[in-house]
Chains A and B, each alone.
Chain A
């Protein structure tokens, strides 16, 4: 295994993403008016945890920023800073910077301070901090280097009050160091003798501290001798309270360690005891060998045991604690109070997640793909052998098929991730677009838990970013226009995801003015994309947005005008096996709908034959299969036919002719057709020669080798080893001769 710290570091950044998500959720809740304690606590904890982890890895820039952010949140928690829209907006901005810093830290690339400084300045303004020196000190505070106790006042720890006064340091001073190893250089120096007077108070025992342990640590510093006396009159043994603090120890320590090392031993009990540590000029211990300060009767009390030097056996539990010394030190009669540890109490670490290299999962995905192919081949062999379907081989094969499908689904689930992280990134895009355009906009998300293949999520980021920017920049009206139209001044961009019939549908909708179709058409005419004066249906005009070279921005804004048009968005979506469509209502807004396959690896397909070719049509595109009768088929122009399907006409598409395998038939009566149904509601009857089978196929991409082939999505390997093309029915229909004109005309008529 690699360096465990490196692993923890990697896991820290994964945790950071989760924390950023929680932070974002909390801020969303705050922006919706929830400024309750728990919401603020969640936000605070997220920032606090990021800071804590970052400190461990010396990610100073991240620590520094998180600290300032945390201070502001703490002020909100403490009620000294009140939450308003402006503050929530600032916190969102801080959240964005924080995620930038997390990523920059992960990649070991410091973030430009030009990005962070303005936000830091805003933060300091609201918290009222002046920054400067104090901040520098704070950063030191979290550096992982060992910091040493550096108190000048050595002898001043005489009493509890003094001790507390000494420790009442400003927040920004370095923390006390409890490591305190003696400096090796000092080892050669002269030994010093300290006289330590230590009288515990009851709270010391109540808090779980134990003098014996402290004495042991002292012994590591040098030679210790101790004596003990009763602080008050000792009660009779049967009246003795276990937690009563009745003893005062006087210890002499001969050591070459620094006084701070001696003080550190008492760090946890400082303030809970009377304590004085004084160097003696005389090297000789003040009470040599004096260990009999108590009457013999009392030496049987456990307290007496604690006065013994640590190497001595421990006769019984000391008071104020049930913790004995480690077994090696304990006498035979000491009962071991740690059965849980001895029996190895069951591990309690909750591991909700396991991190696995994506490579390993992909290997598994590939193997499952092979398994699917192999199973198909086996099925083919069994069929060829002519075995009856009730034969053990056949039923075994059925079971095999079932298991293969289960494995495949499980593997796909490993690759699937909720779209939440993707959606949250879009929140930032809206905020940035809102600032850049001066339009007040907010993002509303829905269906964040919807899961899609990890690769799809990654590759959706760019197209979605572009669409969201467009929605704010082009979709939403200005505040004045909105108010004039009787809408709330603040525009809404809605991003949603949902599973719909085996696919994932992601929608980007704005509540803006809708597509200005007259303008779109005139721009398309100007750019020569369409013939002037052409009569187009609304939907066709909307689809002009996807044409290469189309841009509605009269003046290229600094936001959307990045040379990326909706055509690029469309091709990115197509590359994922997805489709995009638009619906727009004037005055109400525009909705872009992306439909994506759940996985990029395997699909359920219908295997069809056309001439001598075997092809696969994705099952989710097929609404039903038809056998065409004479009354169903109507001519529409010389080349075009439509089919009547339940009182609606759909265009007829001859697959063999479309792909150039044969000439169009003269007569389609008796032909088999697949009724293709698309997300946007358009349909077509795809004529095939025969339907062979319905099965799972492994998708083998063609894009890398052949580029985009119209009407073809990918290829697969069938059970007999033959390669079959997987069709893209939507693309096929769009590219079909005669295009969608008849369909549109019919829809209008219908």
Chain B
């Protein structure tokens, strides 16, 4: 059975690229436009992993991770943060918010898949 991944990003281009990378890797791609949208998707979905952008309208990546970690059913889902910044501070912040790992944009599809494997086995 294929791994299902929820990708949350407010940029349509980034969502398209994530979907392409995930689908080509044989994964099920689910997409959301921002944290709020992501939470709505998660009402009906328990993916194997979540990839989320940080800078998003309505509910940003930090708030989203925080919310996901606060939901019992979803508490342990691995979450990867997408970031253009390689700044350690940002990673540390993501980690404090409860992210499992991170992917630096622009991402190489292979890297993405490998990062997902690091957190989903």
Contact = CB atoms under 8 A, between A and B. Distances in A.
B17 interface: yes
Contact of B1 (A15, A176, A209, A326): A326
Contact of A213 (B56, B86, B119): B119
Nearest to A5: B20
Interface of A: 4-5, 7-8, 11-12, 15, 41-42, 44-45, 48-49, 51-53, 55-56, 141-142, 144, 146, 164, 167-169, 171, 173-181, 203, 206-210, 212-214, 216-217, 265, 267-268, 271-272, 320-323, 325-327, 329, 336-342, 344-350
Contacts of B55: 41, 44-45, 48-49
A460 B119 CA distance: 54
Contacts of A12: 13, 16
A336 B84 CA distance: 35
Given A45-B57, A208-B76, A348-B45, A326 B121 contact: yes
Interface string B57-68: 100000000000
Contacts of B88: 164, 167-169
> By CB atoms of chain A within 10 A, which of B46, B78, B118, B119 has the most?
B118
A42 B60 CA distance: 12
A23 to B, nearest CB: 13
Given A337-B46, A338-B48, A342-B1, A320 B76 contact: yes
Contact of A341 (B15, B28, B107, B111): B28
A321 B13 contact: no
Interface of B: 1-4, 6, 10-17, 19-20, 28, 30-33, 37, 41, 44-48, 55-57, 76-79, 84-88, 91-92, 95, 98-108, 110-111, 114-115, 117-121
Q: 5 nearest interchain CB pairs?
A: A268-B101, A175-B86, A341-B4, A175-B104, A208-B100
Contacts of A347: 30
B118 A327 contact: no
B17 A56 contact: yes
Contact of A45 (B56, B95, B100): B56
B46 A340 contact: yes
B5 to A, nearest CB: 9
Given A213-B117, A345-B30, A348-B45, A15 B86 contact: no
B111 to A, nearest CB: 5
B12 to A, nearest CB: 5
A344 B28 CA distance: 8
A87 B56 CA distance: 24
B84 A52 contact: yes
Nearest to B107: A56
Given A5-B20, A55-B105, A175-B104, A350 B33 contact: yes
A678 B3 CA distance: 66
Nearest to B105: A52
B20 to A, nearest CB: 5
A214 B118 contact: yes
A329 B105 CA distance: 32
Contacts of B31: 348-350
A5 B37 CA distance: 25
Given A49-B10, A209-B100, A344-B28, A326 B108 contact: no
Contacts of B105: 52, 55-56, 142
A325 B11 contact: no
Nearest to A341: B4
Contacts of B20: 4-5, 8
Given A4-B20, A268-B101, A326 B111 contact: no
B41 A322 contact: no
Nearest to B37: A350
Contact of A179 (B4, B33, B41, B108): B108
Contacts of A8: 13, 16-17, 20
B37 to A, nearest CB: 7
A212 B121 contact: yes
